[in-house]
Copies of this chain bind each other. A is one copy, B any other.
């Protein structure tokens, strides 16, 4: 994996034209989708499209990481997705709707049989059982994860809201369990692809909650994500003031000081250092 995945852009594997344009908007990662964006009777053709276009994407110098999203392990399509839908140069497979360790084991087994055990698994946590079992799934050998709000709310029998109150618990719990498992995690899609304000608002929340980036379903969302998941100039300047003052105080034997009217001690100084490090990546 790259050092960061601020933006991961999806394209339907039914659309070679869209797939070829995936890198244009500058995403950190791209996903060729064999699952939700492909109708049941087009799965086979979609795999062939992926195998044709995918290598063009992985061959790019300085291109994005390339992933394939397969269908869920409980579907009939999963086996063929792994055996016929992958290609060289992939960073990993995105596996939706994982709910327990046994599901991850099936992915690992299928990858081994296909001779692709080197591939990273990106776990989709997007069902009620998946959220409740997130700690188990994310500590079972996955390298990356995402929280899928649309599937989650459908599974809950609920309704999506602009304020996201109906997913705050699940979204927070997935971030928490991902952190404990040491797995970077991507935030939910914004389906209203013209609503930049919502995207920016959600991205700011997600970054605060510890998410590494956002899934994108439109090229215009990529720039928004790439901007949102790095510190602002103001944040960096403030962090530098904090670190400078803290280091000076530390040298003098103190570790709790006031900077800009805020008490700064070790955790605040660590936050500031982490922010500066993040900005320099």
Contacts and interface: CB of A to CB of B under 8 A. Distances in A.
Interface of A: 12, 14-15, 33, 35-39, 41-42, 45, 128-129, 131-132, 135, 148, 150-151, 153-161, 165-166, 168-170, 172-173, 175-177, 179-180, 189, 191-195, 205, 207-210, 212, 217-218, 235, 249-250, 253-256, 258, 261-268, 270-271, 274-275
Contact of A158 (B37, B165, B209, B268): B209
B255 A42 contact: yes
Contact of A192 (B253, B261, B275): B261
A175 B267 CA distance: 22
Contact of A169 (B35, B150, B168, B235): B168
Contact of A165 (B131, B161, B205): B205
Contacts of A258: 193
A137 B7 CA distance: 37
A193 B263 contact: yes
Nearest to A251: B39
B156 A210 contact: yes
A152 B250 CA distance: 22
Contact of A151 (B210, B217, B263, B267): B267
Contact of A37 (B33, B193, B256): B256
A249 B266 CA distance: 56
30 contacts: A12-B254, A12-B255, A12-B256, A14-B253, A15-B256, A38-B255, A39-B249, A39-B250, A41-B253, A45-B253, A128-B179, A132-B135, A153-B208, A157-B179, A158-B175, A158-B207, A160-B271, A165-B168, A166-B209, A166-B210, A168-B168, A169-B169, A169-B172, A169-B173, A170-B172, A170-B176, A191-B264, A193-B258, A193-B261, A217-B256
